[in-house]
Structure 1
Amino acid sequence: MELTGFLAFLAAVLPLAYGAPAPAANSLHPEILAAMKRDLGLDAGQATARVARELLAVDVIEQLRSSTGDSFAGAWISEDGATINVGVTDEALAAEVTAAGATPAIMANSLSKLQEAKLALDNLNTSQAKTLSTSSGIAAYYVDVVANKLVLEALSGSTAHAEALAAQVGLVASEFEVLTVAEMPTTLATVRGGDAYLINRAARCSVGFSVTTGFVSAGHCGTAGSAATTTAGASLGTFSGSVFPGSADMSYIRAVTGTTLSGQINGYGAANLPVSGSTASGVGASICRSGSTTGIHCGTVGALGATVNYAEGSVTGLTRTSVCDEPGDLGGSFYSGSQAQSVTSGGSGDYSSRGTI
């Protein structure tokens, strides 16, 4: 399931569990404000204004994606959150971008071209299982809209292989970039969003979001039939469905009768955090996560629709961010303001080294 499909699922079930949407941009929870101050250097006014701008940016970007057609080269929000940047390959469309309230950037490659190359790599993963497995040293790949390139992350001994793969899907040197990483990503394993739970009374993950009859989490946390319990051993339910690896890292745990499903996120040290919708944030937007090991941390969105190669196989449709995590945080809530985004999948690095997830 791609990110769009996951968000559509959340859009369908969140209102049932969380109630009617609230004015998210004007009512950020104090704990969210505190995390954005710590991790993004924003005071309350700046954080509130930024989330409001990011919500408005969604409409502007979608409008221009439609009106610029095949010339659309991606969009991102500036590092300070103040500017909506929209790439186009046709300079004649710059005025249209400006009129819509965004800043135009003339790019060499359309977003569709780069996405088609990424899809070709995904198809290699599907048809040739060992081509992009962890033994190949290709950690992840994604479209970097700011760089206007397909980026492949590889171990130092696999950069030549990454370059060959890029050429295999039809890209020339100016259309891709190979970045060296120190390690391959992992999915080290962990009802209210961000809470801890155990799988088969052993591995630990975090709850993503409560829904009407259970909760969602990461697919790598468990497979259909696996038992979910509290850390104290009380039964929470059973994994009813799970996707990992493949088109998502997503699972659904059907709760046992009597389980209380809270339509909020664990604030870790403060009151619970609100969830009022599932509007998808763009590249450059602020994003936070709640997890049972390190609590709440924030960062920004780096890329959408990324593919990550875990030891278990490749997962498509992921969001790359600068938020750190530790084992046990995985499966937890990912949100922007009070808008649900997804669940934590995996990453490289850790809290101390500010890795990526």
Structure 2
Amino acid sequence: MELFRFLAFLAAVLPVAYGAPTQASNSLHPKVLAAMKRDLGLDAEQATARVARDIQASEVIELLRASAGNSFAGAWIAEDVINVAVTDAALASEVTAAGANPVIVSSSLSKLEDAKLALDNIDIEQPKTLASSDSAATGIAAYYVDVAANKLVIEALADSTAHAESLAAQVGLAASEFEVKTVDAMPTTFATVIGGDAYIIDRAFRCSFGFSVTTGFVSAGHCGSSGSSATTSSGASLGTFSGSVFPGSADMSYVRTVSGTTLSGTIDGYGSGNQAVSGSTASATGSSICRSGSTSGVHCGTVRALGATVTYAEGRVTGLTQTNVCAEPGDSGGPFYTGAQAQGVTSGGSGDCTSGGTTYFQPVNEILSTYGLTLVRG
């Protein structure tokens, strides 16, 4: 009963928060505002209101996830509406009381996530040389739970659709519980960085800073292995990779910096000042999100799927977030963020910022919890 009263309270106050900015429009970084106008068609007032809505929506979703238990089937934001899927129609009134739109579906989120986990544990055969002519059209590129469709989606190259279907059957999914999508290319990591906030690994190649933590900074795992050195572009020592995971359960790394390093809780604004970081509340599917990278600058889009598994040439990586934000080689390790909330570090994807593309990021909260780190806040 207490939870129901609290949800009813949220239903009364959150629409007000979503309908108008909680702060002046200049509370978002000018570069972020410009990117959201370019990529999402939002003016300053709309962008500020949307970011406030997206962050607060996460709180509503987490409350409903807890109250729905095994009947919870996922949540997403579309057309300014929080949609919450449940398998038990009796929960519809509780979802409505929280200010969200109930969607009754057949498969719980836990069932689809269990099927995805089962795929993660299968040794999926991939072409050994993806660039060769006889294997260019084969490969399982990625798979993830599409909560809006209530299905597990498997992305595959043209000649691997039958393989994808057999994998879905192998993990116990019926035809109505999965979808195979054909993609044109396998994902690649954005491993070469030029310009901007860059650092050099083993004096050989560069990546982007992700977020500062109190003892160093975090970035992508494919940027360096444990023990690798990190230096500035001018050659000054930054520190050493104290932890790195890639491929496998994550694409994350932590560099412990040397004494005297200045650690700023901000994101590069590329000529328009810096964006302060104030926390790391994770955004829901459908939320707006932006990315800053040393090759392509600031670009924005939306979150498309959580917990995706991606197949790179080096191997599979689980637990990534899929977005429709573009990125290019050299953006690896750079920060993803919603407003002032840190979301993750750029992993890889496909496409570019001329034609558009898909980019995945490693959620930052997993990095922080894995290594026991604390964000530096601006």
Provide TM-score, normalisation by structure 2: 0.83
Q: Give the aligned partner of residue 36 of structure 2.
A: 36
Residues 315 and 25 of structure 1: CA distance in aligned 2, closer, same or farther (over 3 Å) = farther
Alpha-carbon shift at residue 305 of structure 1 (Å) = 0.6
Partners in 2 of 1:226 and 1:70 — Cα distance?
A: 43
**Residue identity opposite 2:343 in structure 1:** Q
Q: Give the aligned partner of residue 155 of structure 2.
A: 153
**Equivalenced residues, count:** 326
- Checking the alignment, whether the CA contact within 8 Å between 1:25 and 1:51 is kept in structure 2 is no
Over the aligned positions, Cα root-mean-square deviation in angstroms equals 1.7
**Residue identity opposite 1:206 in structure 2:** S
% identical equivalent positions: 74
Residues 152 and 130 of structure 1: CA distance in aligned 2, closer, same or farther (over 3 Å) = same
Specify the SS of the correspondent of 1:189: coil
Alpha-carbon shift at residue 344 of structure 1 (Å) = 0.5
Q: Give the aligned partner of residue 216 of structure 1.
A: 218
1:289-332: per-residue Cα shift (whole Å, max 9, x none)? 11110111111000001111111111111000011000110100
Provide TM-score, normalisation by structure 1: 0.88
Q: Give the aligned partner of residue 75 of structure 1.
A: 75
Specify the SS of the correspondent of 1:33: helix
Q: Does 1:353 align with 2:358?
A: no
Q: Give the aligned partner of residue 86 of structure 1.
A: 84
Residue of structure 2 aligned with 1:108, choices 103, 106, 109: 106
Partners in 2 of 1:132 and 1:169 — Cα distance?
A: 22
Specify the SS of the correspondent of 1:348: strand
Specify the SS of the correspondent of 2:152: strand
Specify the SS of the correspondent of 2:292: strand
Q: Give the aligned partner of residue 56 of structure 1.
A: 56
- Checking the alignment, whether the CA contact within 8 Å between 1:266 and 1:290 is kept in structure 2 is yes
Specify the SS of the correspondent of 1:349: strand
Partners in 2 of 1:231 and 1:162 — Cα distance?
A: 43
Greater RCO (CA < 8 Å, at least 6 residues apart): 1
Alpha-carbon shift at residue 231 of structure 1 (Å) = 2.4
Q: Give the aligned partner of residue 18 of structure 1.
A: none
Residues 129 and 224 of structure 1: CA distance in aligned 2, closer, same or farther (over 3 Å) = farther
Q: Give the aligned partner of residue 231 of structure 1.
A: 233
Residue of structure 2 aligned with 1:123, choices 106, 110, 121: 121
- Checking the alignment, whether the CA contact within 8 Å between 1:132 and 1:309 is kept in structure 2 is no
Residues 345 and 97 of structure 1: CA distance in aligned 2, closer, same or farther (over 3 Å) = same
Alpha-carbon shift at residue 227 of structure 1 (Å) = 1.7
Runs of 4+ in 1 over 4 A off after TM superposition: 131-136
- Checking the alignment, whether the CA contact within 8 Å between 2:126 and 2:140 is kept in structure 1 is no
**Residue identity opposite 1:112 in structure 2:** S
- Checking the alignment, whether the CA contact within 8 Å between 2:29 and 2:269 is kept in structure 1 is no
Partners in 1 of 2:234 and 2:105 — Cα distance?
A: 54
Question: 5+ residue gaps in structure 1?
Answer: 1-23
Specify the SS of the correspondent of 1:356: strand
Alpha-carbon shift at residue 88 of structure 1 (Å) = 1.2
Specify the SS of the correspondent of 1:96: helix
Residues 188 and 113 of structure 1: CA distance in aligned 2, closer, same or farther (over 3 Å) = same
Q: Give the aligned partner of residue 285 of structure 1.
A: 287
Specify the SS of the correspondent of 1:34: helix
1:185-234: per-residue Cα shift (whole Å, max 9, x none)? 111314xxx72112122222111001112110000001012122222333
Partners in 1 of 2:325 and 2:36 — Cα distance?
A: 11
Aligned pairs for 1:1-357 (under 5 A) are 26=23, 27-78=27-78, 80=79, 82-124=80-122, 128=123, 130=125, 137-190=139-192, 195-357=197-359
Specify the SS of the correspondent of 1:344: strand
Partners in 2 of 1:234 and 1:351 — Cα distance?
A: 32
Question: 5+ residue gaps in structure 2?
Answer: 1-20, 360-378
